[in-house]
Structure 1
């Protein structure tokens, strides 16, 4: 039986970008869910106009939005189905979704991270603090856990039963690193695929502010060291 692909897009005030993202989603995606994470603009209306199922999550936080999307798909997904996560700011290339989900579809991996390699990134698409944070986090995971990660990229695919086994809990900035750390602990088969990355539409709610960058850094490092002592 062929796996179905479900897409979760967390979105907070992405009215200028969400329509562009949805217009480029490949047809192999069975259903796309946009989780409106306490937006004050027309994100919900634009997402519905773009054909997405829209869920509302009033607790602001990337993890909150992802967990809401997972809860929705838990009612219809089979263990072999695939969940893809992608941002709603148009920084990813939706047409690369088959490449990200491909190793899971082929049974070669249970989780795939879209790695934003330097040579494929548009200049200025990642802030200096993002670049440094990714380097530090992945370096620590290689040192402490012998991981092979090079990025904490949000564009990722994971088999549904593998995702459920991780028992994800982070509600905010630590979502991506929590998934990758727990995948190591569960000994999931994982890989990375290189993906292109462009300047987002609008200002990042995390890396676009000093406060957001600091809190994200603290949360990510907290997860890494928490696992090293447990």
Structure 2
């Protein structure tokens, strides 16, 4: 079985982070890394108490938190370096129990990157707001048009081989993180696939789609990122 690390960017997820960590299948991951992204609540304390390794990334930004976690995993000695990185959110909207299905195509050598698709899976009523659904449709349509990439979602629940991830040379520090990974994977002819995942209403309010400003900024950044890597 390959060595797996889980990276969870977390900003003010005190109410949900323990539930996320407890739902990760026992023995699945060698290390679970919660990157506390400038939270003003007890996210870090709760995550540490639940058994996670907690890193601090004081500069706000989803991409900043992901980059912090990647740097930590990549810096490990060869004997402890993970083969696969799994990303998921800390708001308990994803189902950590589905991680084995998510990584299966990589374990079986069928893919180097797997996106957990909420569009192909089951979504609880109201789990994704209308602007999220439209944004995903628009972004994946542009990826198909300009990159010939057949994605159905930009979902944060995803798995990728560490060596492949490092070769993508990720740069985005905010809202464009997920689409940057997919655009670069398509451009570099990385073998990828999608698996259906289940999605429920998150605990708390989304920092992105839950506000007008967040929605507009995220949409702008995602579209800008798609054209940036053409």
Q: Using a 3 Å threshold, how does the CA distance of structure 1 residues 77 and 25 change in structure 2: closer, same or farther?
A: farther
- The aligned runs of 1:70-219 (5 Å cut-off) are 70-76=70-76, 81-117=83-119, 120-219=122-221
Question: 1:39 aligns to what?
Answer: 39
1:22-44 deviation per Cα after TM superposition (whole angstroms, max 9, x unaligned): 00111211100000000000001
How far off is 1:106 after superposition? 1.2
- What is the CA–CA distance in structure 2 between the aligned matches of 1:216 and 1:71, rounded to whole Å? 24
How far off is 1:144 after superposition? 1.2
Equivalent residues, number: 227
- What is the CA–CA distance in structure 1 between the aligned matches of 2:137 and 2:155, rounded to whole Å? 12
Question: 1:48 aligns to what?
Answer: 48
Q: CA RMSD in A?
A: 1.2
SS at match of 2:30: strand
Question: 1:15 aligns to what?
Answer: 14
SS at match of 1:157: strand
- What is the CA–CA distance in structure 1 between the aligned matches of 2:195 and 2:130, rounded to whole Å? 22
Q: Using a 3 Å threshold, how does the CA distance of structure 1 residues 77 and 11 change in structure 2: closer, same or farther?
A: farther
SS at match of 1:161: helix
1:86-144 deviation per Cα after TM superposition (whole angstroms, max 9, x unaligned): 00000000000111111111111000000002660001000111000000000111111
How far off is 1:80 after superposition? 7.1
SS at match of 2:85: strand
- What is the CA–CA distance in structure 2 between the aligned matches of 1:94 and 1:28, rounded to whole Å? 10
- What is the CA–CA distance in structure 2 between the aligned matches of 1:55 and 1:144, rounded to whole Å? 37
**Could you list the runs of 5+ residues in structure 1 that have no partner in the other structure?**
none
Ranges of 4+ aligned residues in structure 1 off by more than 3 Å:
77-80
- What is the CA–CA distance in structure 1 between the aligned matches of 2:82 and 2:71, rounded to whole Å? 16
Q: Using a 3 Å threshold, how does the CA distance of structure 1 residues 224 and 77 change in structure 2: closer, same or farther?
A: farther
Deviates more, 1:113-122 or 1:102-111: 113-122
TM-score by length of 2: 0.96
SS at match of 1:184: helix
